[in-house]
Amino acid sequence: MAKVIIYPTNSLILSDMVERFGHEPLAMMEKIKKIINTVGVDSPPLNITPEEPKRGLKYAAVEVPAGVRGRMALIGPMIELAEAGIIVGDSSISFGCMGCARTNELTKFLIREKGIPILEIKYPHTEEEGQDFVYKIAEFLKSLPSGSDEK
Amino acid sequence: MAEETEDNITKIVVISSDSILPTDAAMKVYESEDSITIKETCFGTMVNGPREAVLKVVKTLRSMDRNHIFVKERGFKPGAEVRCRAGRGGGPRPGFHFLREEVNMLPMIGRALDKYEAGEPFEEHEAPKKLDISKLKKIIDSEL
């Protein structure tokens, strides 16, 4: 079972596909769960404190906005753990907590820099593209170490 | 927010099936003997409880129509005050827009998964190219 980082990091489709083909998705949701369930932090309910931008300094310079560094404090450790990556581009839906364009660029850059197997595709808009999308992801996931058939 | 003593998780189960309704999925969860809580939503259900129990229930739900039921983890519990619309005066909750965009793609993804499972050969499709600027100019001129 390989740890696969997905981009967008909170994608339902990617998270499901990675799990479906027997790997572990590294997604934002688990990080959020951890952070909101930690007691003893002085900034409920989201528990984002000045510590996060400090941790983000490992991935982005001090001049970079705190929002980017704060997000990188969550995404950076996931990239470090990743053994493979799936980056889906052409997304009109990178907003919400995925809405920081600079963080998105930095995330994609760091995944590419890591030298792990990466699949880069685009979100499908037609039936044919949908088939391409699924087939490519499935073949990529099967090619990873200890990838299994669909559960 | 209080720390959870157990390893509790929440999973979002999105139903995009022609044969299974979100209610059917919910009924299946109610049949479970495990101590889990669920919340029915417009796109499916949210299941919360101890990790083992939730994974078991999700596996059962997935088996109802496995290529058309999609699952992802959720950071917040169902009804969490900072996310739930009830406490925020209505409007879509943060994160809903992304989910809705992806839910629109699920029928297409489900059909592709069916084809993949049936072993249909992979055909490379050429992506439609973007419109050339000169062509666009011509179109604009012709309209005038």
Q: Is the pLDDT of residue A39 over 60?
A: yes
Whether B3 sits inside 8 A of A10 (CB atoms) is no
Query: What is the rounded distance in angstroms from the CA atom of residue A97 to the CA atom of residue B82?
Result: 14
Instruction: Report pLDDT digits (tens) over B92-116.
Output: 777 788 888 899 999 999 999 999 9
Q: By C-alpha distance, which of B28, B2, B3, B32 is closest to B13?
A: B28
Residue B48 lies in a domain: yes
Q: Give this complex's ipTM.
A: 0.85
**CA–CA distances in Å: residue A149 to residues A68, A98, B71:** 38, 31, 18
- CA angle (B117, B108, A88) in 5-degree steps: 95
Whole-number pLDDT of residue A88: 92
Domain spans in chain A, listed from the N-terminal domain onward? 3-143
Burial string for B39-68 (b: 16+ CB within 10 Å, else e) reads bebebbbbbbbbeebbebbbeebbebbbbb
Residues of B in contact with A44 (CB under 8 A): 1
Work out how many CB contacts closer than 8 A connect A with B: 114
Whether A130 sits inside 8 A of B123 (CB atoms) is no
State the smallest CA–CA distance between residue B144 and chain A in angstroms. Answer: 31
Task: Determine whether domain A3-143 maps to CATH 3.40.50.
Answer: yes
CB B50 within 8 Å of CB B35: yes
State the smallest CA–CA distance between residue B142 and chain A in angstroms. Answer: 29
Q: How many domains would you assign to chain B?
A: 1
Burial string for A9-45 (b: 16+ CB within 10 Å, else e) reads bbbbbbbbbbbbbbbebbbbbbbbbebbbeeeeeeee
Residue B135 lies in a domain: no
Query: What is the rounded distance in angstroms from the CA atom of residue A31 to the CA atom of residue B116?
Result: 32
Question: Least CB-CB distance to B1: which of A29, A30, A37?
Answer: A37
Q: Is the pLDDT of residue A147 over 60?
A: no
Tell me which residues of chain B have a pLDDT lower than 50. 1-3
Whole-number pLDDT of residue A41: 59
With an 8 Å Cβ cutoff, the interface of chain A facing chain B consists of: 8, 10-13, 15-16, 19, 27-33, 35-39, 44-47, 92-93, 95-98, 122-124, 127-135, 138-139, 150
Give the CATH number, domain containing residue B34.
Answer: 3.30.70
Residue B81 lies in a domain: yes
**Segment 30-89 of chain B within 8 Å of chain A by CB:** 66, 70-76, 80-82
Q: What single-letter amino acid sits at B36? A: I
Residue B126 lies in a domain: no
Q: Find the domain containing B39 and state its range.
A: 8-118
Residue B144 lies in a domain: no
